[in-house]
C-alpha cells in the first residue's frame, strides 16, 4: 500500500504514534510532512513534542521556535494546528 503524498496523512499518523508513545515513528512521519511542506508549523510543533519526550531538549526547542516563526508568518493560518486551549 502506497501512502499518499498528502501532508495531512503524515500528520495524522504521526499524532497516533505520538499518542501511543512511539516517538521515533512520530518524528519520522512529521519529517515526511515537512518534506512536503517545509513551513508547516503543526509538524514542527508536534515533532518538538516528540523530541521533548525523547529527551532531545535542544532539538525540541528549535522545533518549537520554528513552529512559532511559521505560525506568525502566515496570517491566514494563525494558530492553525497549535493548540491554544480555546477550542
Confidence of residue 82 (pLDDT cuts 50, 70, 90): low
Q: What is the DSSP string of 43-60?
A: HHHHHHHHHHHTT-HHHH
Task: Return the ∠ at Cα 24 (arms to 37 and 32), rounded to 5°.
Answer: 20
pTM: predicted TM-score of the whole model, two decimal places: 0.80
Mean of all residue pLDDT scores within the chain: 86
pLDDT at 43 over 70: yes
pLDDT at 11 over 90: yes
Distance (Å, whole) CA 16 – CA 81: 15
pLDDT in tens, 54-70: 999 999 999 999 999 98
Query: What pLDDT is attached to residue 28?
Result: 97
Q: Domains plus CATH for the chain? A: 7-77 (1.25.40.10)
Amino acid at each position: 500500500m502506497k501512502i499518499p503524498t498528502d501532508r495531512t496523512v503524515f500528520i495524522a499518523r504521526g499524532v497516533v504514534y505520538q499518542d501511543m508513545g512511539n516517538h521515533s515513528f512520530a518524528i519520522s512521519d512529521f519529517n515526511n510532512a515537512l518534506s512536503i511542506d517545509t513551513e508547516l508549523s503543526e509538524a514542527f510543533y508536534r515533532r518538538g513534542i516528540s523530541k521533548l519526550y525523547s529527551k532531545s531538549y535542544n532539538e525540541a526547542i528549535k522545533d518549537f521556535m520554528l513552529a512559532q516563526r511559521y505560525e506568525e508568518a502566515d496570517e491566514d493560518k494563525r494558530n492553525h494546528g497549535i493548540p491554544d486551549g480555546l477550542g
